[in-house]
Structure 1
Amino acid sequence: MKTTFTQKTILSFFLLCSFHLLAQNKLGRELILIDKDWRFSFGHLYDTKKDFGHAEGYFSYLTKTGFADGPAVSGFDDRAWRKLDLPHDWAVEQPFSENASFSHGFKAVGKNFPEKSIGWYRKKITIPNEDLGRVISLKFDGVFRNSKVFFNGFYLGTQESGYNGFEYDVTAYVNYGGENTIVVRVDASMEEGWFYEGAGIYRHVYLQKTNLIHVALNGTYVTSEIENNNAVITAEVKLENKGHYEGNVEISQTVLDASGKQVASNTESISAPEFYKTNVCSSKLNVKNPLLWDIDSPNLYQLITEIKSEGKVIDQYKTSFGIRTIKFDPENGFFLNGKHVKLKGTNNHQDHAGIGTALPDEIQYYRIKKLKEMGSNAYRCSHHPPTPELLKACDELGMLVIDETRLMGINDYHLNDLKRMMERDRNHPSIFCWSVGNEEWQIEGGITGERITNIMQDFSKSIDPTRPVTVGISSGFKSGISSVVEIMGYNYLGNGDIDAHRNQFKNQPGMGTEEGSTFATRGIYFTDDAKHYQSAYDKKPRPTFYSIEEGWKFYAERPYLAGMFIWTGFDYRGEPTPYGWPSVTSYFGMMDVCGFPKDNVFYLKSWWGKEPVLHVLPHWNWSGMEGKEIEVWTYSNCDEVELFLNKKSLGKKKMEQNGHLEWKVNYVPGTLEAVGYKDGKKVLSDVQKTTGKAENIKLSLDKQNVLKGNVSVVTVETTDKNGLHVPTANDEITFSIKGGKILGVGNGDPTSLESDQFIDDITLVAINNFKEQKETNASLPLQLLNYAENQWTEAFKDRDYKKQAPSYIYKGEFDLKSNSASNMVSFFYKKIGVETVVFINRNKVEPSKEDTQKYILNTSILKEGKNTIHIAATPLQKIKDWDVMNTDPGIIQVITPAEPWKRKLFNGYAQIIIQKDENVGEVVLSASAKGLRAAILKN
């Protein structure tokens, strides 16, 4: 329809009035976390019937605007679906299968499991009438993967990658003053990486409300230059106008220090952007005697950006930032704030034991603190953009970051993903380098790689010229990307001659973006290929790869190399090299998937950290090996270490810089003690004692490494009668909790096929073979009559809605795989009549009190196998001829209660992650096991 001048004028007047109303009465911006109370169910990869009839409509959401179908329709009945909170990873909930993906840790998700590769999420929200005239949008931090989002039945878009955040404007589709429905269909059938990636809405989701004129998505960019104890802050802000307002607005920029004190401010008047356009305003602010952001003192500032109209604030946007300088030097490595810093980094994927990729914010802090505790000062996001909360933790705790995009390329798919990552993340002071690729073997060594790298580097500089660009290279360091990348990223010194490359490109700084790739199983000291266990001694893993010690010595001894990033800080699910099934996690980590340290942690802590360190390995429980030779190592930064067995000295040895010490010791039970000396004086000792059998369960709350919040990390172990930790214990521990819930359990065993989570199983059972017979009166039976079998006809087929019978009797069937007394079975009725009576196996059932269209079915009237349902109903009447009448009688929900939470200890340890309920003063965790004294932990 052609819009007239008068219509345009009225529309402009309405929007202008709305703008002024907001300017007078509203602050403008609200960001509301909407993680609570979603509904979830599995769909199906290709069977549309099992996908709730999605994409079966005559008109689809791609054909006509607003024509969603199946679960994407606002009125879809999701009462039988599971209720959950986000973040959510459905992959971690699944069992293991040998037919599943090696790279994803053999979890039963993906192309071979079409019934567990599509997930539907639905949530209802209310948006008040007062929000009319604002911009309403949905913000997703990340969905794995290939998500389609609908709002009130309107298709908003598709986001293919599982790692980039995205935002949709839903303003035009809102039901103001009423209920609104968000629907997300997630397709996790295809992998992006070669590591565990999870499945579902595994990051946060927000509802955002702003003024028509507002700071655009990721619309601030803060940089600084330091000179003579003065920092000149350039605060760039991008404004967006989704209204017809014309005129000037004021941009107020205020810098606050960590205490909230104002240290700089500036105000400018600029013209508002035109309708659906943006413009950029740049301000200069001076901060005197700035507190610099550093890995030891991560000082942060906050920029408060306010947009004002007629003196009223219509939008406020907060940006956390830090003031610091970075520099790579081809001769001397990396400098932070003018001070030389050797990069002591780790690579990491984003999953954690028991919870997969759906990490609570507290666990992000836990993991970064564990790395800092090891002495690490740098983190490489391998190999995709991270969740925002990880970067927040790195900013606040002082951890340098390489931020990495998912895929190299020069088209919109690649460059737009890179741009979105950089614009989202570029205000984080922790980020010191952008990575635009990793081990792209197809292009690394040739002209195509050069071209792509040059374009991506220049494109990156157009977005953020303050940071350099790197690529991780692994197929030789001679040509292609290696010859043009700004900061050379060496992946494994065994893959090429690093010194030769440096001599050829002396003006190109470099660092080890991956090094090590060693194999170790926590608590194991003899490799057992039959059991898929690798010894934890730091030894060369493969001929062309190097031990952690060999790798660190190489980089530590070369000033021109900025440092190295170990593969990896933590073990991760998937890629269980050098084994396959039933190994389901990697062996590369310095810590296991729980964050329990392997012995290599103490090597790094000795030479990466600042505190005195002494660690002796292995444990000293070797029953049956009396008299046999055991390798004993010590990791330390002491000058000398002396080893004692049962108080008898086995010799004192001098510690080599960046090295370790070894003894051969014939096993005798008792006490193995290492004593460390500095300047000839004893400064440290470490002891391994032979313990008795496990008698007690011990629960310990990690208060040091977890951010204060509702989520806690608990270490589970056993002790002997003397209270000594038993390093060889593998007892199965059962848990229960009051005042909270358990999120996940783990133990670091790379071959464990135990469940990560114990949740009720919800099965939806369809009603099939649905038939009907006409009744001659409107009275509904209180007892089921006998009906002639030859009178049944297909329900609703060729129904003449103008000549309906007074009532109908319907019959259907549903199959139950089991009829356990512990199961909870319900019939969620979808209205097919005005008045209704329901019979199950000829037994009349009553609706529940809380929901008159829900029938709770007692297992005494059910049976394993085929069950019958009869529904007597007076018919619904069409109001308009084109009304679409419901013909679906509903769904049977079967809830099978979960087993109690449990986990075996692995080499003495397990971990449990708990979450306290809101408004609860105390959470109580109980642990028990056969033959052990139980434990209770209160928090």
Structure 2
Amino acid sequence: MKSITLNRFFLCFIFFISFYISAQNQSERDLTLIDKDWRFSFGHLYDTQKDFNHATSYFSYLTKTGFGDGPAAQNFDDRAWRKLDLPHDWAVEQPFSEKGSFSHGFKTAGKGFPEKSIGWYRKKITIPEADKGRMISLKFDGVFRNSKVFFNGYFLGTEESGYNGFEYDVTAYVNYGGENTIVVRVDASMEEGWFYEGAGIYRHVYLQKTNPIHVAVNGTYITSEIQNKNAEVTARVTIENKGNYKGEIEVIQSILDTEGKQIATVSENITAPDFYKTAHYTSKFKVNNPLLWDLENPNLYRLVTLIKQERKPIDRFETTFGIRTIKFDAEKGLFLNGKPIKLKGTNNHQDHAGIGTALPDELQYYRIKKLKEMGSNAYRCSHHPPTPELLKVCDELGMLVIDETRLMGVNDYHLNNLKRMIERDYNHPSVFCWSVGNEEWNIEGGIVGERITNVMQGFAKSIDPTRPVTVGISSGFKTGISSVVEIMGYNYMGNGDIDAHRNEFRQQPGMGTEEGSTFATRGIYFTDDDKHYQSAYDKKPRPSFYSIEEGWKFYAERPYLAGMFIWTGFDYRGEPTPYGWPSVTSYFGMMDVCGFPKDNVYYLKSWWGKEPVLHIMPHWNWAGMEGKEIDVWVHSNCDEVELFLNKKSLGKKKMELNSHLEWKVKYIPGTLEAIGYKSGKKVLTETKKTTGIAEKIELTADKENASNGNVVVVTVATTDKKGLYVPTSNHEITFSAKGGKILGVGNGNPTSLENDQFIDNVDLVSITNFEEKKLASANTDRIPSEGDNSWKEAFKDRDYKNQAPAYVYRGKFELKNNLKTNTVNFFHKKIGTETVVFVNGNKVVPSTEDNQKYVLNSNVLNQGTNTIQIIATPLQKNKDWDVMNTDPGIIQVITPAESWKRKLFNGFAQIIVQKDGNANEVVLSASANSLNPGTLVISKK
């Protein structure tokens, strides 16, 4: 008896603890990523019927609350839509066309393609009864562009810019304990930039649940001052009350060090803000001997803000920050933590090969890591606010950032966008400068530009006085914007006299916000305009632009210039200067769109990095050019370099600071060897060998990338019989993956018109000419005769109070290709209480998974016109104003994708692979004609 009592006590205790933990968790903040399991379909820019008749109802979503119609309606049938996960960029999935946008890489999306300019997204979620009393919101990191969001048929709002994060409160619209529907309509018909921008929900989406009293959106602001090796940290928190509670709350703010140990805490009781009001609360902390955030040791602290009501935790919010100082000096340049640094930066857009703009978090890490390996220490966001994940990576890896707003102006649209960017990003230690504009040629040199800059600069400083403001300027360096901006941003030294500007504005610090702008195709060493190939040798591209070497020498030799940002770190889609179609990516990058290095990377690595470097260009496979002179360049930071051809010395040369070495070498197959010396001692050796023909496929996963996430970057190459990589291989490789899926493929070829992605094509085919005929009974054994003239337009002038016992309906649908491999489904929408479906005279039965879905086998279908008939007993109206469904449904045609494939370009291609959640490993296989296949096993950590 005693043991039973103890057991009951134990069970009650466990229940109490579980209930307490559950209640505590529900009272605090809950942020859930909801990227999985969305439905997607294209709408249409101006054809409302093709846009699912959205906004055609008598009452629209703007007329009466809750009247979202078409796909915006909660009960809209989206079963035939494509299933996908976010982030998603539908533009990258499209083929190329000369009619496409030059600036957007000639993809068949956006303006000029109305059938691919509107995208609809839908997702269903369940919110439990237990969440009543909490605030429920949807958080979007970014949607390109002009998005309208609905929740359970209720219109939430419009966000025009594709680069802003935004949040909607849906608490009042929630169906607690049941199904809730999120709908997003995206209009990507208009471009914001002159570079590839993608299309769709290309950043993360979250469901957030909080107590009515909580830390507001972007509600913490942390600054620090360092004195005598100690830091005073000031943390301001904005608290919002969306409830009716009146009384005291306790605000506890704590700092955790780099190891997660609490090192300081402050607590105070304050009066809660009034209903739908906010209040600010500021704490000050002393941190002794702080570990500073810098480029080599990016130490990060965390501020934990805890709100208690009646001694119970109701919100907990974490903010990552760093302790560091930034100072610009007009004479001596930039100082980080009191130490001079030179900005070794790159400009970058946000797209990547095969993926477009929908970058997985792991790919953000991969790209910043590649820039760090090159020696870069700074990143300019060109020309818009970045993803939150990019700034997180820059914080963690030690990369300074210029954070840039999209458009200059002084009205709500411009200043509100600037405010949102600053408040979202001002706790990132990586962000050292705000940029409020770039190359605004219409206003740069005049009074309007001066006025706008003064307003935007003052506005930015009113929000965050700790960081300076810059503008990238390219059309003259003396008047207008350049005369008033806090930090002068020089875009290309060929556009003006930088020294003269500095002599006139001696109190104005400056940096090269864009420099370089050279053309290069990876692995190409002879310019061929017919093929749209630009030689990879670093040459002056045109009179007003300078080579990478010329640019770096200019900025490196001037202490008053803080450094430079090269245009660009990576190639990007669009802007294929100096060419046009069929070039679809830029030629400016130090690396191509995959992140494969061009030879300029090694020049920069020599003078930007700290490790010894020795690099020979070009490769040494020049069959047919025997005896002809080849320009051989060596990039190195050694004191001297000696070059050998087949063990014969071609001479030793001394390396000048920030330079490279050149030889003219007559081509003979064999081995080029360079030996680097420091202080007279041999320290490095580098070779380029003539290879044999390619024989084997080699697959290599980025090691750090493979061990730190679910998305892995894989390099594809070929080797000869000696195991040497073949730099001229251009084989087409076919891929497959088990235990994961391929997200995208690329090769860095600026003229490649190959598919970036291979996905099943989903077509929605409407049923047309829909007619009806009355029946005396719903006889389902056979199809009624069609020979009489009693057919009429279905549902037209239907008297719902005097309906026939049954009806037979018929319609047509067209199939362009009735391939054996296609999957054809009929998703029926209920038009009767009991229904029977016939296709081309054949009775079809519903699937077991869904009694309103019919799988149509190829043996019942025709290529061309098909007939569908439905026998149904009619639906009855309960109220006169009930709206009855008159849509029989949609035909879904799924055409399976081709196998994943990509040609190598000058020896390399790239595959982006995502691991399945339940699989222990991913097996990637690659094959090609005349090559031994390759296999790569990627195990889970």
Question: In the TM superposition, what is the alpha-carbon distance from 1:776 to its structure 2 partner?
Answer: 1.0
Counterpart of 1:889?
A: 888
Q: Deviation string for 1:609-634 (max 9, x for gaps)?
A: 00000000000000000001100000
Report SS of the residue matched to 1:126: strand
The answer for the alignment partner of 2:785 in structure 1 is 786
Q: How does 1:101-500 map to 2 (within 5 A)?
A: 101-500=101-500
Aligned counterparts of 1:212 and 1:426: Cα–Cα separation in 2? 25
Deviations 1:863-918 (A, max 9, x none): 11111000000001111111000000000000000000000000000000000000
Q: Give the 3-state SS of the residue equivalent to 1:550 in structure 2.
A: helix
Deviations 1:648-702 (A, max 9, x none): 0001000010000000011000001111111111110111100000000000011
The C-alpha deviation readout for 1:284-314, integer Å capped at 9, x for no partner, is 0111110000010000000000111111110
The answer for the alignment partner of 1:815 in structure 2 is: 814
Give the distance between the partners of 1:114 and 1:749, measured in 2 at CA.
29
1:498-537 Cα offsets, whole Å, 9 max, x none, are: 0000000000000000001100000000000000000000
1:735 is matched with 735
Shifted more, 531-540 versus 127-136: the winner is: 127-136
Q: What is the TM-score with the length of structure 1 in the denominator?
A: 0.97
State the partner residue of 2:590.
590
Instruction: In structure 1, give the amino acid aligned to 2:758.
Output: F
Could you give the per-residue CA deviations for residues 342-395 of structure 1, whole angstroms, max 9, x where no partner exists? 000000000000000000000000000000000000000000000000000000
Matches of 1:707 and 1:607, distance apart in 2: 30
Aligned residues of 2:705 and 2:711 also touching (Cα < 8 A) = no
In structure 2, relative to structure 1, the CA distance for the partners of 1:219 and 1:23 (3 Å cut) is farther
> Using the alignment, how far apart are the partners of 1:22 and 1:309 within structure 2?
17
Task: State the SS of the aligned residue for 1:933.
Answer: strand
Alignment of structure 1 residues 526-675 onto 2, 5 Å: 526-675=526-675
Task: Spell out, residue by residue over 1:798-834, the C-alpha distance to the aligned partner (whole angstroms, 9 max, x if none).
Answer: 0001100000000000011111000000000000011
Note the C-alpha offset of 1:55.
1.1
Distance 1:24 1:684, change over 3 A: closer
Mark the runs of 5 or more structure 1 residues left unpaired by the alignment. Answer: 1-19
Q: Which residue of 2 aligns with 1:4?
A: none
Measured against aligned partners, the alpha-carbon deviations of 1:836-888 in whole angstroms (never above 9, x if no partner) come to 10000111001000000000001111111111000000001111111000000
Local SS of the residue matching 2:789: helix
Letter matched to residue 285 of structure 1: F
Deviation at 1:788, TM superposition (A): 2.5
Rate the CA distance shift 1:126–1:514 in 2: closer, same or farther, 3 A: same
Contact 2:826 2:856 in 1 (8 A): yes
Q: Is the 8 A contact 1:23 1:314 kept in 2?
A: no
The 3-state SS of whatever aligns with 1:758 is coil
The residue number in structure 2 matching 1:828 is: 827
The letter of the residue matching 1:682 is K
Residues 742 and 789 of structure 1, relative CA distance in 2, 3 Å threshold: farther
Letter in 2 for 1:646: N
* CA–CA distance in structure 2, aligned partners of residues 254 and 416 of structure 1: 31
CA distance in 1, matches of 2:706, 2:656: 35
Distance in 2 between residues matched to 1:613 and 1:668, nearest whole Å: 26
Runs (4+) of structure 1 exceeding 4 A deviation are 20-25
Q: Distance in 2 between matches of 1:789 and 1:713?
A: 65
2:817 & 2:89 partners in 1: Cα distance?
28
**Equivalent pair of 1:362/1:707 in contact (CA under 8 Å):** no
User: What is the distance in 1 between the residues matched to 2:806 and 2:373?
Assistant: 73
Distance 1:658 1:287 in 2: 41
The answer on whether the counterparts of 1:536 and 1:598 sit within 8 Å (CA) in structure 2 is yes
Task: Give the drift of 1:228.
Answer: 1.2
Change (3 A) 1:753 1:25: closer
Amino acid at match of 2:799: D
Q: 1:398 to 1:705 in 2, by over 3 A?
A: farther
What's the offset of the Cα at 1:332? 0.5
**One-letter identity of the residue aligned with 1:622:** W
Q: Determine the C-alpha separation between the residues in 2 that align with 1:691 and 1:788.
A: 76
Count of paired positions: 919
Give the 3-state SS of the residue equivalent to 1:415 in structure 2.
helix
Letter in 1 for 2:125: I
Letter in structure 2 aligned against 1:554? F
Partner of 1:856: 855
Whichever residue aligns with residue 840 of structure 1, its letter is V
Q: Are 1:763 and 1:895, in contact at CA under 8 Å, matched by a contact in 2?
A: yes
AA aligned opposite 1:929: A
* 2:911 alignment counterpart: 912
Query: Normalised by the size of structure 2, how large is the TM-score?
Result: 0.97
Q: How many angstroms does 1:706 deviate by?
A: 5.9
User: Which aligned pairs between 1:726-805 and structure 2 lie closer than 5 A?
Assistant: 726-777=726-777, 779-805=778-804
Please report the RMSD computed on the Cα atoms of aligned residues, expressed in angstroms. 1.1
Residue of structure 2 in register with 1:66 after alignment:
66
- SS at structure 2 position matched to 1:631: strand
**C-alpha distance in structure 2 between counterparts of 1:866 and 1:532, whole Å:** 46
Cα gap change, 1:442/1:450 in structure 2, threshold over 3 Å: closer, same or farther? same
Whether the 8 Å CA contact 1:22–1:314 is kept in 2: the answer is no
Structure 1 match to 2:872: 873
What is the CA deviation profile of residues 575-634 of structure 1, one whole-angstrom value per residue up to 9, with x for unaligned ones?
000000000000000000000000000000000000000000000000000001100000
Please name the residue that 1:516 is paired with. 516
- 1:736–1:927 Cα contact (<8 Å) kept: yes
Aligned-residue offset at 1:247: 1.1
Pick which of 706-715 and 451-460 moved more.
Answer: 706-715
Letter in 1 for 2:680: G
8 Å contact kept, 1:365–1:706: no
Aligned-pair CA distance for 1:22: 11
Q: Deviations over 1:197-239 (max 9, x none)?
A: 0000000000000001000000000000111121111000001
Is the CA contact (8 Å cut-off) linking 2:705 and 2:712 kept in structure 1?
no
CA drift at 1:791:
1.4
Alignment partners' CA distance in 1, 2:529 and 2:101: 21
CA displacement 1:36-93 (0-9 Å, x = unmatched): 0000000000000000010111110011111110000000000000000000000000
Q: In the aligned structure 2, how far is the partner of 1:785 from the partner of 1:667?
A: 83
Partner of 1:15: none
Which residue does 2:836 correspond to in 1? 837
The residue type equivalent to 2:299 in the other structure is N
Q: CA deviation at 1:705?
A: 5.1
* Distance verdict in 2 for CA 1:852–1:24, change over 3 Å: closer
Contact 1:127/1:180 (8 A) holds in 2: yes
SS at match of 1:704: helix
Amino acid in structure 1 at the alignment position of 2:760: D
Rounded to whole Å, the distance in 1 between the matches of 2:383 and 2:730 is 34
Percent sequence identity over aligned pairs: 78
Contact preservation (8 Å) 1:471, 1:489: yes
Letter in 1 for 2:437: G
1:362–1:706 Cα contact (<8 Å) kept: no
5+ residue gaps, structure 2: 1-19
Q: Give the Cα separation in 2 of the matches to 1:23 and 1:844.
A: 54
Aligned to 1:51: 51
CA distance in 1, matches of 2:305, 2:772: 65
Cα distance in 1, alignment partners of residues 667 and 642 from structure 2: 17
Query: Which residue is 1:92 aligned to?
Result: 92
Q: State the 1:704 CA deviation.
A: 3.4
1:9 alignment counterpart:
none
- Does the 8 Å CA contact 1:353/1:747 hold for their aligned counterparts? yes
AA matched with 1:507 = Q
Does the 8 Å CA contact 2:26/2:131 hold for their aligned counterparts?
Answer: no
Amino acid at match of 2:621: N
How far apart in 2 are the matches of 1:828 and 1:573? Answer: 38
